Amino acid sequence: MKNWLICIDDTDDIGTKGTGEIAEEIAHLLQQEHLKMTEHSGGCLVTRHQLFVHPDIPYTSHNSAMCFQLESHLDFADIKQICVTHLLQESAAASDPGLAILDMSSSYDISALIAFGQSAKETVKTKAQAYQLATEQGIDLTEHGGTGQGVIGALAGLGLRLSGQDGRVKGQFCLGNYNKGADIEFTVADILANTPLQVVLSDSGKILADDERILLTGKVKAVYRQHMFALLVSRHGSAWVNASKQTLKTY
Amino acid sequence: MDKWFTYIDGVWRFKFDTNSYSASREAAKACRFFVEDDEDEQTDDHSQSCFNCLYRRWGLNCFDCYKKVGTS
């Protein structure tokens, strides 16, 4: 089996299906195809990577790229066909979709990709720069409508995901009866056993032990840190509490 | 809405910064066009907040309201 990193950007418009939802759908379609060949399929969580917001960048409302990792027997041609077919079907008419696919077993300069991603959070990048880096690193980078400007974010998203230190995880997580409304305490072990999350991290980056207790309040959302899907928590008095949307906005 | 927005260079710009949750919630409560954006793009735990609105577009300092432009 091979590992692939897939990222899309600039597929939506105000009032249309979001890029994150389209990424999740593509991940699901790829997993379904993969399951035709084998019984096992791991989940692929989508991460959202915030890019630069600047008047010179034609984003819709927030300029974020969506990325996921796929472990599969599928070959490149099948993966790309599924991605492109769904992008063409679901992207907004006024959007400028870009798609980046990285074979993680190939030889590529991870530092160069991370640097591009980090730079795209602070400066305006061009399509020419994105295509040049993709060519140098053997990454399949393609545009699928409009100006194709989304190739910049798609490549940047790959780099940011590879950094292991960027992004929020799309969606929210359910634990037992928690989503009935009232705040409930769980141990770290319970949280890790009942979600796809890999770690509970304090806001200073410390990994919490399995027996630590966490008070869950509001929506349970996660971030991508230390190359793991992490529940972020902070101290409120004597209790650890999951991070609010206000806290997560900088991730 | 002028309490919360200023018309600058053809767009209605939120007068406050990204941490002004009270102002963002007040403005959304007073707005008949408020529509919640995708949950993953929200930055305020209080749902009805301009920070969570489908019609806001983030900029260098805060956001511009695109619905208000369409109705001005």
Can you give the pLDDT of all 251 residues of chain A as single tens digits?
999 999 999 998 888 899 999 999 999 999 998 888 776 666 789 999 999 999 889 888 889 999 999 999 999 999 999 999 999 999 999 999 999 999 999 999 999 999 999 999 999 999 999 999 999 999 999 999 999 999 999 999 999 999 999 999 999 998 877 665 678 999 999 999 999 999 999 999 999 999 999 999 988 999 999 999 999 999 999 999 999 999 999 99
Amino acid at A130: A
Assign 3-class secondary structure to chain A: CEEEEEEEECCCCCCCCCHHHHHHHHHHHHHHHHHCCCCCCCCCCCEEEECCCCCCCCCCCCCEEEEEEEEECCCHHHHHHHHHHHHHHHCCCCCCCEEEEEECCCCCCHHHHHHHHHHCCCCCCCHHHHHHHHHHHCCEEEECCCCCCHHHHHHHHHHHHHHCCCCEECCCCCCCCHHHCCCEEEEHHHHHHHCCCCEEEECCCCECCCCCEEEECCCCCEEEECCEEEEEEEEECCEEEECCHHHHCCC
- At A36 the pLDDT is 80
Residues in B closer than 8 angstroms to A170, CB to CB, are: 40
Q: Would the CA dihedral through A224, A227, A228, A230 be positive or negative? A: negative
- Do A127 and A12 reside in the same domain of the chain? yes
CA A228 to each of CA A148, A163, A216: distance values in angstroms, whole numbers, following the listed order: 31, 11, 20
- Do A177 and A128 reside in the same domain of the chain? no
Task: Report yes or no: A121 at the B interface, CB cutoff 8 Å.
Answer: no
- Do A149 and A185 reside in the same domain of the chain? no
Residues in A closer than 8 angstroms to B42, CB to CB, are: 245
- Could you list the residue range(s) of the whole structural domain that residue B66 is in? 5-71
- At B44 the pLDDT is 96
Q: Give residue-wise pLDDT tens across range B30-47.
A: 999 999 999 999 999 999
CA A145 to each of CA A99, A114, A247, B31: distance values in angstroms, whole numbers, following the listed order: 11, 26, 35, 34
Chain A: nearest CA to B23, how far in angstroms? 15
- At A37 the pLDDT is 77
Count other C-beta atoms under 10 Å from residue A37's C-beta: 11
Total of domains in chain B:
1
- At B70 the pLDDT is 44
- Do A148 and A206 reside in the same domain of the chain? no
For residue A217, give the chain B residue with the closest CA: B45
Cβ neighbors of A199 (< 8 A, separation 6 or more) are: A192, A207, A208, A226, A228, A229, A230, A231
> CB–CB of A62 and B54 under 8 A?
no
- Do A46 and A107 reside in the same domain of the chain? yes
Count other C-beta atoms under 10 Å from residue A14's C-beta: 16
Total of domains in chain A:
2
- At B72 the pLDDT is 41
Of A112, A139, A168, which one is at a domain's C-terminal end? A168
Amino acid at A181: G
Instruction: Please name the member of A15, A54, A245 whose beta carbon is closest to the beta carbon of B54.
Output: A15
Q: Would the CA dihedral through A105, A108, A111, A115 be positive or negative? A: negative
Residues in A closer than 8 angstroms to B45, CB to CB, are: 218-219, 244-246
Of A138, A168, A198, which one is at a domain's C-terminal end? A168
- Do A7 and A53 reside in the same domain of the chain? yes
CATH number, residue A137: 3.30.70.2200
- At A59 the pLDDT is 85
Task: Report yes or no: B33 at the A interface, CB cutoff 8 Å.
Answer: no
- Do A140 and A178 reside in the same domain of the chain? no
Residues in A closer than 8 angstroms to B58, CB to CB, are: 53, 61-63
- Would you write out chain B's pLDDT as a tens digit for each of its 72 residues? 789 999 988 889 999 999 999 999 999 999 999 999 999 999 999 999 999 999 999 998 899 998 864 444
- Do A48 and A94 reside in the same domain of the chain? yes
Residues in A closer than 8 angstroms to B59, CB to CB, are: 53, 55
> CB–CB of A54 and B38 under 8 A?
no
- Do A189 and A146 reside in the same domain of the chain? no
- Do A212 and A111 reside in the same domain of the chain? no
Hey, of A51, A62, A168, A172, which one would you mutate to test binding to chain B, going by the most B CBs within 10 A of its CB?
A62
For residue B39, give the chain A residue with the closest CA: A171
- Do A98 and A198 reside in the same domain of the chain? no
Q: At what angle do helices A150-163 and A127-137 cross, to 10 degrees?
A: 50
> CB–CB of A245 and B45 under 8 A?
yes
- Could you list the residue range(s) of the whole structural domain that residue A208 is in? 172-248
- Do A131 and A216 reside in the same domain of the chain? no
> CB–CB of B38 and A246 under 8 A?
no
Residues in B closer than 8 angstroms to A57, CB to CB, are: none
> CB–CB of A61 and B39 under 8 A?
no
For residue A13, give the chain B residue with the closest CA: B54
